[in-house]
Every structure is written in structure tokens, then in C-alpha cells.
Chain A
Amino acid sequence: MTHTINLTAQSRPEVMERVLRVVRHRGFALNSVEMNNCTTSNTLSIKLTVSGERPISNLENQLKKLYDVSQLELCQTQGMNESAVAMNA
């Protein structure tokens, strides 16, 4: 499954490393990344496209825990309905 995530983060030099590390460690592959620096608000807008078989909610939750991440939105999931992303019950 492929997922698109938009997030806003405080502009710190290591933010992108933090985000990409979490994506990798939590079992997702990075397909594409786009980053824009908003100097007036000192924030970064980051758009990620990732793929993986694990529940995307796990990745969302881990990214939201990053101290520098202020907003996160899961925009799109392709390959299967999001509702069908089953947890291990």
C-alpha cells in the first residue's frame, strides 16, 4: 500500500533525519519526499509518499510523537481501502 502524508514541523537542521528515520524504522519505504521551508513561520512543510504493509496508523502515531512535528495529515492511501488496514487482533 502507498500512503501520502503531509506534515508541518519546526525548522531545525535535523528534522528531516528524524522523520525519515522513523519512516524506515517503523517498516515503511520512502517513495518520494518534498520539503519546503517557510522562513516567516520558521516551519517546514514536508510531503511524504511511503509504502508498506503495516498499519499506517502506527507510522502516523510515531511521527506525531516527534517533538518538532506540529501537524500531520494522512492524505491518501492507495492499494487497499484504509479501513481494510487490519490490526493484529
Chain B
Amino acid sequence: MTGAELVLKVLQQHGIKHIFGYPGGAIMPIYDALYDSDVQHFLCRHEQGAAFSAIGYARSTGTVGVCMATSGPGATNLVTGLADAMMDSVPVVAITGQVFSSLIGTDAFQEMDVLGMSLSITKHSFLVQSLDELADVLHQAFELAQSGRPGPVLVDIPKDIQIGSVDFEPYPIAQREFPTPSQDDIAQARDMIGAAQKPLFYVGGGVGAADAINEMQDLLEYTQIPAISTLKALGTVPTEYPYNLGFVGMHGNQAANLAVQECDLLICTGARFDDRVTGKLDTFAPHAKVIHLDIDPAEISKLRKADVSILANFKKLLPELKVAPHTPEWLARASGLIAEYAWRYDYPGEQIYAPRLLNQLSKTLPHDHVVSCDVGQHQMWVAQHMLFTSPRNHLSSGGAGTMGFGLPVAIGAQVARPDSVSVVVSGDGSFMMNVQELGTIKRFNLPVKIVLLDNQRLGMVKQWQELFFEERYSETNLSDNPDFVTLAKAFDIPALSIDKADQVDNALQTMINSDGPFLLHVQIDDKENVWPLVPPGKANDDMLEGNNT
């Protein structure tokens, strides 16, 4: 068989049924092999869309997402998506075509140093040097993407290797290996949990990445320790858990931010002390000892010194930490914070209040749904006001904060989970960054539901201009947006626009009950901001409050 056919064989061996991509000259042999393959290809309308769809596929299922592109600009268009996957530890394999090996380094047409570009935005990358190593490199790519801390892996394949002849040999899929934790460390952690007066779980995306959501929930149920969640962890701690303090950080719930400042033991579980979580680092959890549980040794004591650290497979580790401390005063304090800082939706006036709409949407969606969102104010409102039963149902660009993320990610999630309702919540700024993917939605008639919150502004930047730049609104006015309903209809996607609060219920029902894709355009007040807000450089208990807390 050819090297190109081998690529498809290896994909199938790793259970890959769907891939996202865009063809071009240097990857034509692989696309030719794809023509006769059982692997289903989803043609996106931009390579960045393909990369994000692979992310949506991976994050909504916990499996590997695969994207493909040609050399040069095809590969460069993948870069932002791969960087996003790197920041959020998403297992993605990207396959790029490269010019003939003999032309590499000659500035040939569409020849770029893709390997060089990939170094900082992938977990690892390969430029295949010979046909003999092609299969091995591809298998390594899949193993690496999923092992340890997951991440994106890029395989750049010159065209001569794609068209060369090679024998296919079955390859045993390796079992994943995990570090073996020290029993002394586990005993010490148990002692610290048992002795703590104000223990707090700080739950991160690593729990979901380790497929240890059930184990985390069992641990919470047993220990009854209050918990805060990062953006990527939302959905891990059950909404009905009585000591779920919610989302922590810059736009987190005040209950979460105050609790973390008061706790005496912080059990960091698959999180990384990101600056959007900690605020001013040396003021974060100032009274707490730290137990840091992770799979990545580089995260231990990177930003906050751990008193005890354990590297392990969470599925096995978390059950070993079942110690129930006796902390009635702390539990009463947590309950009090939760009650005191519950979100309020009693917004006056006729205009649509986005937080309330999102909370209504959350309660209206069927149980099996997945919400993707873009980046900006609406992203924070989704995190604050929508309720999730799994981190696989909330796909948000965390580390990279990439505008344009939502629409293609929702496509990937819909392909991966055809029976789920895939919803994207976007803003008018973000939506225009990958709006071409409406074409992909229509081409495959994917029933993605789009809620477009339109304040005709780059809202989050405008909010910061208002608060920190003396209301100097530099380049954040988008009042020349297109007519989004007409735009959707140009792609033959039904759409509806609303601007009054009393239209919301019917509009949400219309959208959810529609058979195919649907765009709900929601006009909101550009003066609405996201509250609370921990100003940059401030401690988490130094929050600015607004009108929705």
C-alpha cells in the first residue's frame, strides 16, 4: 500500500471514525486514499475550523480528535487551534502534508517549516523522515496525545512518503502507563485532610481529562469537603452537592473566592494555579497548606509550593483519599457563603438580561446536551449561569482564550455526539472569527443550535476600557455588524432575532424544537458587564461587584 493508505489504516487502528480537514496540494495523496476509506471526513471551510472541530470532538468525548491540512498556509491555519489544545491539554493529532523531501529547505511553493512552527504549540511534533518510520511515528503520535497530560501532536508527512510503497503491519496498542504514587505521600495527604479545619477541594480540568469524574464525585460525597471549580472543571462537582461553591477566579462566584481565601488546606486536584484563578498569586489562599494532585510533574510547585504532591492516575488515587474531616463550623460557613452569594436574576426592564437567558437556556435544554462557547463576556456568563453535569458538556477555551472557538467546536461535538443537543453560545465579536463554519454546518446538516448574544461591542475589552482605561473605547464598537439573521439565511440556516425579555421563552423553545441548525440572534444592552470582577493584580477577596450578584 502507499504511505497515504497507511495513514488511514493507522487511524482506523486507533478507532478514528471521523476527521476534520481541508485538502491541498501537498496532502492530496492522503485525500485520495480517503476517497475509498471508511473514515468519514468533514470538510471545514478553514483549517482553523478543522482544528477546533477536532478539539470539540476530543473534549466532548474524552477521545482523540484528528485534523488534517496541507503544507504551508494550510498548516499555519492549524496553529491557533493546536495552541488552544496545548493550553487546555486536549488530545488532538494533526496531520499535515509537506512538500517532497527533496524540496524542503528550497522555499518551494507552499513549503514552510511546519515542524519549527509547531515546537511551542504542541506536546510533540514529527517531520517524517522516511517511509520506514511512518507507521511508528503515527502510532507514537496517538499514544503521546493521550498519555500523561494529554495534548496535541503534529505529524508532518512529505509528499514522497505519502506516495511511496510500504507494507502494513499490525501494531499492538500500548497500555497507558501512570506514575506510581508513594504510599507515604498518600498517608501524609490523608493525615492533612483529616486534621484540617477548613479544607477545600480546588478542582481542575485534570479530573475530566483523567476520566475520573465519578471518582471525584464519590470522594466529595464521602468527605463532604467544600469544593471550588476552575473554568475547565465546571460540571465535575455536582450542582446539587451541598458544598459546591462554584466557579473560582477573576469572574468567579464570590462564595468560591472568599472560601479559598479562608481555607486552611487547599487540595488542588488537576489544576494549575492559573493567574485567572489566583489573582495576585502571593495573596491566594494565604492561610492554606497545599496538597497538589496531578499527572504532570512540571505543574508541581511551579507557581505555588506544594506541601505534599502526588503524581498519579486519578482514577486510582482519588478513592485512596477518602478521609472525612469533622468540620461543622466550616461546612456552616460554606453553606452560608453559598446562600449569601447566590446569583440573582431579578433584572428590571424590558430588555434581555443575558445571565437570565442563559440560566433559562440551561433549564430548558434536554439532559443530553453539550454547550460550546466563544470568548468574552458571554463566556463568563455561561460559566456563571449555566449548569453542567459533566465537564464534557461545557467546552470553553480556557488557557488560550481563543475567540472563534465556539462554532467549530460545537460542530466537532455534534459529530462526536450525534444524539446530544449541541449548542454554541457566542458573541458578535467571536462569531465573526469563524463564521465560515456555518457552511460546514449546512453541508452536513448538523443540528447545531447557535445563541448569538449581540451587544455590538467587543464586550469584555470594552468593559476593561470602562473600568481601567478611563472609558476610552478604542476599537471596540461593532455597531456595523452584519444582519446576522440574513447572514444565517444566506447559508440556508433558519434564524430568529429577539430583543425583549418576554420573547425569550418562546424563542428558546423554537430553537430547541427545530429539527436542524438554528441561529437565535439575541440583542442585548451594551452597558451590561460581567460581575463580580477581581481586578488584575488584586487578591480574590478584592472583588468589584455589579448588578447580578
Q: Which candidate, B18-26, B115-123, B382-390, is the interface stretch facing chain A?
A: B115-123
Q: Helix, strand, loop or mixed for chain B's interface? A: loop
A18 — nearest CB in chain B belongs to which residue?
B119
> What is the CA–CA distance of A17 and B304 in the complex, to the nearest angstrom?
29
Interface pair B303/A62, CB less than 8 Å apart:
no
Scan B298-312; emit 1 where CB is below 8 A from any A CB, else 0. 101111110000000
Chain A residues whose C-beta falls within 8 Å of the C-beta of B123 in the assembled complex: 67
Known: A21-B119, A21-B120, A67-B124. A88 touches B304 (CB 8 A): yes
B300 — nearest CB in chain A belongs to which residue?
A61
Is A14 an interface position by the 8 A CB rule? Answer: yes
Interface pair B119/A14, CB less than 8 Å apart:
yes
> What is the CA–CA distance of A21 and B115 in the complex, to the nearest angstrom?
13
Is B281 an interface position by the 8 A CB rule? Answer: yes
Interface pair B298/A62, CB less than 8 Å apart:
yes
Chain B interface residue count, Cβ-Cβ cutoff 8 angstroms? 20
Q: Helix, strand, loop or mixed for chain A's interface? A: helix
Is B421 an interface position by the 8 A CB rule? Answer: no
Q: Which of B103-149 contact A (CB under 8 A)?
A: 115-116, 119-120, 123-124, 127, 129, 144
Chain A residues whose C-beta falls within 8 Å of the C-beta of B305 in the assembled complex: 87-89
> What is the CA–CA distance of A42 and B98 in the complex, to the nearest angstrom?
25
Is A70 an interface position by the 8 A CB rule? Answer: no
Known: A17-B119, A18-B119, A21-B119. A67 touches B302 (CB 8 A): no
Interface pair A88/B281, CB less than 8 Å apart:
yes
Chain B residues whose C-beta falls within 8 Å of the C-beta of A17 in the assembled complex: 116, 119
Chain A residues whose C-beta falls within 8 Å of the C-beta of B304 in the assembled complex: 87-89
- Distance in Å from the Cβ of A11 to the closest Cβ of chain B? 11
Scan A45-89; emit 1 where CB is below 8 A from any B CB, else 0. 000000000010110011011110000000000000000000111
Scan B252-295; emit 1 where CB is below 8 A from any A CB, else 0. 00000000000000000000000000000110000000000000
Chain A residues whose C-beta falls within 8 Å of the C-beta of B127 in the assembled complex: 13-14
Interface centre among A13, A25, A62, A88 (most CB of B within 10 A): A88
B147 — nearest CB in chain A belongs to which residue?
A67
Instruction: Give chain B's interface residues, CB within 8 Å of chain A.
Output: 115-116, 119-120, 123-124, 127, 129, 144, 281-282, 296-298, 300-305
The 19 listed contacts between A and B (C-beta, < 8 Å) are A13-B129, A14-B115, A14-B116, A17-B119, A18-B119, A57-B301, A58-B298, A58-B302, A61-B298, A61-B300, A62-B298, A65-B296, A66-B124, A67-B123, A67-B144, A87-B304, A87-B305, A89-B282, A89-B304
